């Protein structure tokens, strides 16, 4: 029976991507002065797994490149070569190439065979170079004629010699790797001493010359006995470790994202059904109302627990995003001749998988921006009384129903005058007495850049506006803090999940709207003494400051809505840029709502983030506070009122 291997392609792609990410992470953490042997073994095993899997699936470009890469990694883990920055750089470049090849196979696109060939030759040259170094360090009495027997690790010679069956070098290597996987200590099997010596003797033959006397051979054999006893112990230790790892691996399964999304949608429908039952309970006979109420309270508790359990399935640690930045910082700082340290904090903080996938690009741009524009050159930092090494901190933490991701640098900070001058050049209208936070937000304007010249890193004014738009698309907001000479911090506020949110339902002339709780500060019913009109724009005086007011009915074209703040309710909210009040007729209550995409079923509506289905089957709009903040036209009136 023929098995269609293509059905397993997705699993191979996912596992190979994980192997490549692990290899990159381990190589980045290597201490070149004292490399961790287990880390090198893990990198080797990851490459070997990709090679074996790709060979089974017929992905020859992956197989060929990982095979040669495996040879160089084998030398590194056996300490027959000394690791250097250039070798680690080569490994990292090859990982990039492997990722590119893997992407081509995944997307069924054309393989760049020229790149594969160049990369393979670079690895072969590195293997040959290190082999030549080993040959040079051997006994000087060796005859050149003996090199013709193929005792060296030249890939070309090996292929020709293997055809005659002279050596089982690859076979031994495969057995060695297999032994690694089976925890038997890198090919040293617990059989007779003779078989152990034979394996090692073959390995030594490939690295040394054959004109040694009997005494030398005897000493080698004695050494092998000692080596075997040590490595047998290592094998047992590794076997115990692997047993622990395998037991933890068996407790996890792979599930397609679409299946989890379906489950999340069903839980959302359950939440809606629960709201329907709550409305029905208000209409039932008093004789059964109490019993039904008890049942509904229990149902609400169970629904909440099911929702939390299902949502946790979609939650992943943000380290999935953070782990790509050590490489980015390393490469870019080297390119810009800067010394930068990356600090990761809160990488275990969990966030919705759909957010993780869309966060990568905005965070990448912000980190690149911090390295390029924020961190100064080493000589400039020394002049400013700082250390040569700059630092960038990626930080994640959960605050209530949202997650806050911060990018902090200890660079020069934002230049207020330069930003204002650039804004004038771009004809961006500026209010009088503009505050610092408003100046910082100017960098999000399309085409805005303070770079003196255009480079392949920055300067075209493309990016920050996209960052802001992408963050707001996720239902989040971004804030900037900056101190001249001290550094800049970007704070990204995001909801924990995009599927279900807690909101406050409000009434506007009979229409129901939902305000996300994450944006609400408080709700008040003001009296006339708290209202001040400046140029017919209402301002609310509360807690020692003035707040602009947006009549929600007027903003969303709802007829017959209350327009006098003293006769309605003002919901105080905050966005990334502004704090203001939303004037509504009445508060209905707090409840969980399931977000449905309005664009998918209708079209994008300004001021609206999505829609939800209420318990009575009606549709309610979920407000987009970030978008509504653009309707605040009375910010300068606030400053005038405060000056009075």
Domain with residue 286: its CATH number is 1.10.287
- Same domain membership, residue 265 and residue 239: no
- Same domain for 405 and 262, yes or no, is no
pLDDT of 633 above 80: no
The domain boundary, picked from 120, 137, 154, lies at 137
Residues 350 and 408 placed together within one structural domain of the fold: yes
Check pLDDT > 90 for residue 345: yes
Task: Name the nearest CA neighbour of 471 among 360, 545, 562.
Answer: 360
Q: What is the CATH number of the domain that holds 619?
A: 2.30.30.40
In a domain, 3, yes or no: no
Average of per-residue pLDDT across 492-497? 78
Specify the pLDDT at position 167: 35
Residue 341: pLDDT above 90? yes
Q: CA of 525: how far to CAs of 351, 411, 566, in Å?
A: 36, 45, 7
- Asked if residue 1 is part of any domain, the answer here is no
Q: Is residue 303 part of a domain?
A: yes
- For 188-197, what is each residue's pLDDT tens digit? 333 333 333 3
Q: What is the pLDDT of residue 380?
A: 92
Domain span including residue 47: 8-137
- pLDDT at residue number 5: 62
What local confidence, expressed as pLDDT, does residue 205 receive? 34
The more confidently predicted of residues 128 and 220 is: 128
Res 367 pLDDT > 70: yes
640 contacts 540 by C-beta, under 8 angstroms: no
Q: Are residues 172 and 125 in the same domain?
A: no
CATH number where 104 lies: 1.20.120.160
**Domain annotation covers residue 12:** yes
Q: What's the pLDDT tens digit per position in 163-181?
A: 333 334 443 444 444 444 4
Residue 547 inside a domain? The answer is yes
Residue 633's DSSP bridge partners are none
- Kindly report, residue by residue over 300-324, the tens digit of the pLDDT: 888 888 877 887 787 888 888 898 8
Same domain, 466 and 548: no
Residue 186: per-residue pLDDT = 35
Is the pLDDT score of 119 beyond 60? Answer: yes
Confidence band of 408 (pLDDT split at 50, 70, 90): very high
User: Do 180 and 272 fall within a single domain?
Assistant: no
245 plus 281 within the same structural domain: no
What rounded mean pLDDT belongs to the chain?
75
Domain match, 621 and 570 both? yes
Confidence of residue 140 (pLDDT cuts 50, 70, 90): very low
Q: What is the pLDDT of residue 191?
A: 37
Q: What is the DSSP letter of 518?
A: G
Cα separation, 284 vs 515, in Å, equals 30
* 395 and 354 in a common domain: yes
> How do strand 579-584 and strand 531-534 relate by DSSP bridges?
unpaired
pTM of the complete model = 0.56
Residue 322 placed within a domain: yes
Residue 251, pLDDT score: 63
What is the C-alpha to C-alpha distance for residues 572 and 574, in angstroms, rounded to an integer? Answer: 7
How many angstroms separate the CA atoms of 511 and 432, rounded?
A: 38
H/E run at residue 72: helix 60-77
User: Mean pLDDT, to the nearest integer, of 488-513?
Assistant: 85
Q: Output the CA angle 14-124-210, nearest 5 degrees.
A: 120
pLDDT of residue 413: 92
Report residue 469's pLDDT band, with 50, 70 and 90 as the boundaries. Answer: confident
The answer on pLDDT for 475 being more than 80 is: no
Is residue 206 pLDDT above 50, yes or no? no
Q: Does residue 243 register a pLDDT over 80?
A: no
pLDDT cut 90: percent of the chain above it:
16
Both 321 and 310 in one domain: the answer is no
| Residue 20 maps to a domain | yes
Pair 116, 37 in one domain: yes
Domain boundary among 93, 115, 137: 137
Cβ(478)–Cβ(468) under 8 Å? yes
467 shares a domain with 369: yes
Q: What domain count does the chain have?
A: 5
In angstroms, the Cα distances linking 493 to 246, 318, 406, 471, 506 are: 38, 14, 9, 9, 24
- Residue 431 sits in a domain whose CATH number is 3.30.565.10
The answer to whether residues 44 and 35 touch, using CB atoms and an 8 Å cutoff, is: no
Task: Encode pLDDT of 373-395 as tens digits.
Answer: 899 999 999 999 999 999 999 99
> pLDDT band at residue 201, thresholds of 50, 70 and 90?
very low
Task: Out of 265, 283, 314, pick the residue that ends a domain.
Answer: 314
Q: What is the pLDDT of residue 194?
A: 36
The pLDDT of residue 223: 40
Residue 291 lies in a domain: yes
More confident residue, 229 or 599: 599
CA 632: distance to chain centroid? 34
């Amino acid at each position: 029976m023929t098995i269609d291997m293509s059905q397993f392609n997705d699993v191979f792609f996912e596992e190979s991507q994980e192997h490549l990410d692990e290899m990159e992470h381990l190589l980045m953490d290597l201490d070149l002065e004292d490399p961790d042997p287990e880390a090198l073994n893990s990198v080797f095993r990851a490459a070997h797994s990709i090679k074996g899997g790709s060979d089974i699936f017929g992905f020859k470009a992956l197989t060929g490149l990982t095979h040669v890469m495996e040879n160089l990694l084998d030398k590194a883990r056996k300490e027959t070569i000394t690791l250097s920055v250039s070798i680690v750089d080569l490994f990292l470049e090859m990982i990039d190439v492997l990722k590119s090849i893997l992407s081509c196979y995944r997307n069924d696109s054309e393989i760049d065979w020229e790149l594969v060939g160049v990369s393979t030759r670079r690895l072969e040259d590195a293997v040959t170079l290190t082999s030549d170094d080993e040959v040079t360090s051997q006994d000087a009495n060796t005859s050149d004629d003996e090199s013709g027997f193929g005792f060296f690790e030249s890939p070309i010679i090996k292929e020709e010699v293997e055809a005659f069956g002279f050596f089982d070098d690859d076979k031994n290597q495969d057995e060695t790797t297999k032994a690694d996987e089976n925890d038997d200590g890198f090919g040293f099997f617990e059989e007779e001493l003779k078989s152990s010596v034979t394996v090692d003797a073959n390995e030594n033959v490939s690295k040394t010359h054959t004109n040694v006397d009997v005494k030398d051979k005897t000493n080698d054999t004695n050494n092998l006995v000692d080596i075997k006893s040590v490595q047998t112990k290592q094998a047992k230790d590794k076997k115990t470790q692997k047993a622990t790892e395998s037991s933890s691996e068996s407790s996890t399964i792979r599930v397609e994202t679409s299946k989890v999304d379906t489950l999340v949608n069903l839980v959302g429908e359950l939440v809606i059904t629960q709201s329907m039952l709550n409305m029905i309970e208000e209409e039932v006979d008093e004789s059964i109302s109490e019993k039904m109420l008890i049942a509904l309270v229990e149902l609400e508790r169970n629904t909440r627990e099911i929702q939390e359990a299902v949502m946790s399935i979609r939650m992943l640690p943000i380290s999935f995003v953070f782990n790509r930045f050590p490489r980015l910082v390393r490469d870019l700082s080297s390119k810009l001749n800067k010394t930068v340290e990356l600090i990761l904090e809160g990488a275990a903080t969990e966030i919705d998988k759909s957010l993780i996938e869309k966060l990568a690009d905005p965070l990448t741009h912000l980190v690149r921006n911090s390295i390029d524009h924020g961190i100064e050159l080493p000589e400039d930092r020394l002049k400013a009384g700082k250390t040569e090494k700059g630092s960038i901190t990626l930080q994640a933490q959960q605050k209530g129903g949202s997650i806050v991701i911060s990018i902090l640098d200890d660079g020069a900070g934002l230049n207020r005058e330069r930003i204002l001058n650039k804004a004038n050049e771009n004809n961006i209208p500026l209010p009088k007495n503009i505050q610092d936070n408003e100046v910082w937000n100017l960098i999000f304007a399309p085409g805005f850049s303070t770079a003196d010249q255009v480079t392949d890193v920055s300067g075209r004014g493309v990016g920050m506006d996209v960052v802001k738009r992408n963050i707001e698309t996720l239902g989040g907001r971004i804030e900037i803090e900056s101190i001249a000479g001290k550094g800049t911090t970007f704070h990204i506020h995001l909801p924990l999940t995009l599927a279900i949110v807690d909101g406050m339902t409000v009434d506007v002339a009979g229409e129901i709207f939902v305000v996300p709780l994450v944006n609400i500060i408080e709700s008040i019913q003001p009296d006339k003494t708290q209202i001040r009109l400046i140029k017919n724009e209402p301002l609310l005086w509360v807690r020692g400051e003035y707040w602009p007011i947006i009549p929600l009915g007027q903003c969303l074209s709802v007829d017959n809505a209350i327009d006098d703040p003293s006769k309605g309710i003002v919901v105080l909210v905050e966005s990334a840029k502004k704090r203001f009040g939303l004037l509504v007729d009445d508060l209905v209550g707090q409840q969980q709502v399931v977000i449905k995409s309005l664009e998918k079923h209708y079209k994008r509506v300004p001021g609206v983030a999505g829609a939800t289905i209420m318990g009575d089957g009606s549709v309610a709009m979920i407000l987009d506070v970030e978008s509504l903040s653009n309707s605040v036209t009375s910010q300068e009136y606030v400053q005038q009122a405060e000056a009075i």
